[in-house]
Amino acid sequence: MIDAINEMKIYTYPDPVLKTKAEPITEIDEDLQALIDRMIEVMYSAPGVGLAANQVGVLKRLIVFDRNPKEGERDPVALINPEIVLGEDEIKWDEACLSVIDFTAEVVRKAQVKVRGLDRHGNPFDIEAEDLLGVCLQHEIDHLDGILFIDHISSLKRALYKKKLKKMQKEK
């Protein structure tokens, strides 16, 4: 596991790991702490404001994100087995994803959410969020269920992206 952590890479669409539902975490041990630390490094170096374990090929219900994504100072948080327990109103947000290269699209999300999970030490942890952070949490929790933001857009737009991706791969 340690080797896998050191050599961590971000998997990109259409890798099947991104379409697979992650399993709940039952043990909070040293390996998990190492995984969290490495995911936070990988997130910031990408750079990104959130990362789900599926994206680095680990099918565990774990996300990391920055609590103040707009501020200058880093405030990384890990959330284990996160669940959206409350969602109110709707907001349209222009989303991108480290696993969906060179593409953004508008997605309809909940405007305010309350998310419940465990912190990195296994203590109950609730977070209420809106705007960028709220959207980020919904996006990352989707990853744990094998859902990408492009699954929320029209099939026409998704087809256009697939076409663009094929073209990019040919040009490589």
78 binding Ni ion? (CB under 5 A): no
Alpha helix (H) ranges present in the chain?
2-6, 30-45, 131-144, 155-171
Around Cβ 168, how many Cβ atoms within 10 Å? 11
Choose between 2 and 46: whose C-beta lies nearer to Ni ion. Answer: 46
Question: By rule CB under 5 A, what count of residues binds Ni ion?
Answer: 1
Choose between 28 and 132: whose C-beta lies nearer to Ni ion. Answer: 132
What's the min distance (Å) between Cβ of 27 and Ni ion? 25
Choose between 35 and 97: whose C-beta lies nearer to Ni ion. Answer: 97
- Write the CB contacts of 32 (distance below 8 Å, at least 6 apart in sequence): 25, 62, 80, 120
> Interface with Ni ion by CB under 5 A: which range of 9-17, 26-34, 97-105, 151-159?
97-105
Q: What is the Cα gyration radius of the chain?
A: 16
Choose between 47 and 124: whose C-beta lies nearer to Ni ion. Answer: 47
Residue showing tokens 């909070």: 28
Calpha distance 88→165 (Å, rounded)? 34
- Upper half-sphere CA count for residue 84 (Cβ side, 13 Å): 21
Residue nearest to Ni ion (CB): 97
What's the min distance (Å) between Cβ of 172 and Ni ion? 22
97 binding Ni ion? (CB under 5 A): yes
> Interface with Ni ion by CB under 5 A: which range of 4-12, 76-84, 89-97, 154-162?
89-97
Q: Which residues are catalytic?
A: 140
- What CA–CA distances, in Å, run from 105 to 109, 125, 158? 12, 31, 10
What's the min distance (Å) between Cβ of 2 and Ni ion? 25
Binding region for Ni ion (CB under 5 A): 97
